[in-house]
Amino acid sequence: MQSGSLAREARKLPLGLRFASVAVLSLASALGVSEATAQIPSTAAASTSQPAFGSATTPPAPVEPAIPEAPDSPRASMREFFKLAREGRFDEAARYLDVPPKGNGPQLAQRLKAVLDRNLWIDPGDLSPLSLGDPKDGVGVEELGTIPGAPKGDTVRLVRRVEGTTARWVFSRATVERVDSWYSRLDDRWLREILPEALLRPGPRELLWWQWLALPLLCLTGWLVGKLLSFLSQLTFGRVVARTEIQLDDQLLERSRGPVTFSVAIGVVAVGTSWLGLYGPAENFINRVLSAAFFIAIFWAALRVIDASTEHLLVVGQARDNASARSLAPLAGRIAKVMVAIIGVIAVLSELGYPVASLIAGLGIGGVALALAAQKTVENLFGSISIGLDRPFRVGDFVMIDGTVLGTVEAIGLRSTRVRTLDRTLVTMPNGKLADMRVESYTARDRFRLTCIIAVVYGTTSTQLQAVMNEMEAALRRHPKIWPDDVVVRFQGFGVAGLEIEVMAWFKVPDFGSFRGVRQEVLLEFMKAVEDAGTRFALPAQRLHIMADTGNPFGGSSEAPLGGHVDASATVQGGPTLGGNGEGATAVPGGSGKRGAS
């Protein structure tokens, strides 16, 4: 049976995964979660689970019964040998070696244990539980594997030895004779010869005690080197980022000290662990801890980037003058940091060997429950984020929302937006609904339009009308705020009250208050143009003619009281179409007996 490939496969892992830190190493070792605990067999759970109601029941797959372990099997013999060797009882462990006549049994047992731990990690559970061993290797022979780097034929074998009525499996004579040669090729042989025996015994996670003492020193060395390189990088790149105009790169460089120091320390520890001569399980454990530390460095740097970006957003651009953006940026930063932290914790736990499937499922269920409970709150929060990113309006803008609400935006919060109407009432609208509404911003206009219809009386001649239009257009083009690309002053038609002139022009003013002043100046110029042309504005009027009939509407005689036909004209007059003041009613000139009524 071939075994012990665990150590060789572990050393094939890339060096980039061998990162470490004192905190992660101490945490992982303190937790003390074994491989068997981290990887719970799923077959036991499957055998105890019951089928769901109404689901089709399938017969469970047949499970092969476990073969009982014989007391004289290779598995039992090697378990006893390794137990005695771990306890330092090498004189008793030598009973499981076929020692040559002049060989030192305890010394050979100690050296064989060191060679196997370093080059061919053996798990007794992988060996045959049968008394006669694995039939594939032959009766009475059990092959454990080949020592890497040794000449061909250096295979570690067990043979079955019978002494009286008892039998046990021992390392073959050929294997024992090669122990000294294998031991001489160990990298840490010189260290084993000078260290006391107590420090050479394995501790937790199959790390020797001297290796546990060396790890803190190695981490301290890595931290010192990291501090030095971080300081040098600050000096080098600080001169470069000082020449740029933006402040984001300065903040990123300042906040990168911790992650840079940590990453360099991880690299130093990664290089140093290759000199410790770790056993297979210890090397796997260290590799996983270093990989977890590598993830911690990455997510730590990501959190620093989020902090620097959040602070940068608060001092640049439109967020500096926007209260809503100033409150939204820290909230978005905190949400991003929580998400990064959750992903980082899951990644680190998964790298350390913990089952995270149940944790992810729990987070999913919790997320669904939170989404259902806080549906409206989340909707309004995302609405505020949408408004903050799209920026359809700002605080102070004069807007019309959905064709019903007209006023000035007074505040944009995380949940709602408040608008002050012209009647001085305050309308509060949830951001979730507001993000889907039609918003018309009057403040965003680049120019304001003046449009009106000027009516002059029908007694105006064509020459007078042309003079009025020319003077109106000239007045518009003379104004310093006019947008000259499109100025419209045209005779539109014959209206009910008079001759109608269409006026349309645009003015480049910043706000509606300035436009009111410009409109007043232009309308006064229009009045002067009409007056200079010798005409006047048309006044909308209605005439009511009252005709006498055969009856006497005044009572008494059927003749008119003034001795003639009565034509009473009631004239109702108002101002011009452009909104001027109304004039009083005047008597319409006519024949005798006519009277004006206002």
pLDDT over 70 (residue 397): yes
* Band of residue 320 on the pLDDT scale cut at 50, 70, 90: low
- In this predicted structure, what is the pLDDT of residue 60? 53
Residue 547 lies in a domain: yes
Residues 318 and 222 in one domain: yes
Q: What is the pLDDT of residues 581-591, one digit of tens each?
A: 333 333 333 33
Distance from C-alpha of 103 to C-alpha of 119, rounded to nearest angstrom = 23
In a domain, 331, yes or no: yes
Q: How far is CA 593 from CA 552, 558, 564, 590, 596, in A?
A: 16, 16, 8, 9, 10
* pTM summary value: 0.51
Q: What is the CA radius of gyration of the chain?
A: 49
Residue with tokens 């009386």: 457
Q: How far apart are CA 37 and CA 473, in angstroms?
A: 91
Residues 426 and 333 in one domain: no
| Residue 518 belongs to a domain | yes
Looking at residue 60, the DSSP 8-state letter turns out to be: P
CATH number at residue 402: 2.30.30.60
Domain count within the chain: 5
**pLDDT recorded at residue 115:** 87
Q: Are residues 237 and 329 in the same domain?
A: yes
Note whether 237 and 321 are same-domain residues.
yes
First-last CA distance in the chain: 124
Lowest mean pLDDT among 198-207, 259-268, 528-537, 582-591: 582-591
Same structural domain, 543 and 571: yes
The letter for the amino acid at 418 is R
- Amino acid making up residue 543: R
For residues 418 and 430, give the distance between their C-alpha atoms in angstroms, rounded to a whole number. Answer: 9
Q: At residue 531, does pLDDT exceed 60?
A: yes
Q: Helix crossing, 248-255 with 257-273: angle to 10°?
A: 40
Residue 409 burial by Cβ neighbours in a 10 Å radius (0-12, 13-18, 19+): buried
Asked if residue 494 has pLDDT above 90, the reply is: yes
What's the CA gap between 268 and 218, in Å, rounded?
Answer: 8
Token code pair at residue 584: 């009083």
**How long is the chain?**
598
Task: Report the sign of the C-alpha dihedral through residues 276, 279, 284, 286, in that order.
Answer: negative
Helix (H) or strand (E) holding 499: strand 499-507
In a domain, 493, yes or no: yes
pLDDT at 309: 85
- Whether 204 is covered by a domain: the verdict is no
Inter-CA distances, 459 with 525, 537, 538, Å: 22, 10, 10
332: in domain: yes
Q: Which of 161-175, 480-494, 523-537, 580-594 has the lowest mean pLDDT?
A: 580-594
Question: Where is the domain boundary, 474, 503, 532?
Answer: 532
- Domain extent for 580: 539-598
Looking up tokens 């039992």, which residue turns up? 76
In contact, 298 and 346? CB cutoff 8 Å:
no
- Residue 42 falls within a domain, yes or no? no
Q: Which strands, in side-by-side order, build the sheet including 416-421?
A: 426-430, 416-421, 405-412, 398-401, 439-441
245 and 320 part of one domain: yes
- Strand 155-163 relative to strand 166-171, pairing: antiparallel
The two tokens of residue 141 are 């022979």
Most confident range, picked from 15-19, 73-77, 224-228, 517-521: 517-521
Q: Are residues 437 and 453 in the same domain?
A: no
Tell whether 352 and 244 lie within a shared domain: yes
Domain's final residue, options 373, 406, 423? 373
pLDDT of residue 406: 92
Are residues 465 and 432 both part of a single domain? no
Query: Mean of the per-residue pLDDT values for the chain?
Result: 77
Handedness of CA 133, 134, 137, 142 (dihedral sign): negative
**Is residue 215 located within the same domain as residue 298?**
yes
Residues 428 and 473 occupy one common structural domain: no
> Does 196 map to a domain?
no
Average of pLDDT values for 162-184?
A: 87
- 504 with 589, same domain: the answer is no
Give ∠ CA 167-172-176 in degrees, rounded to 5: 130
Instruction: Single out the residue in 350, 373, 396 at which a domain terminates.
Output: 373
Give how far Cα 77 sits from Cα of 83, 104, 113, 140, 163, Å: 10, 20, 14, 13, 14
CB 497 within 8 Å of CB 575: no
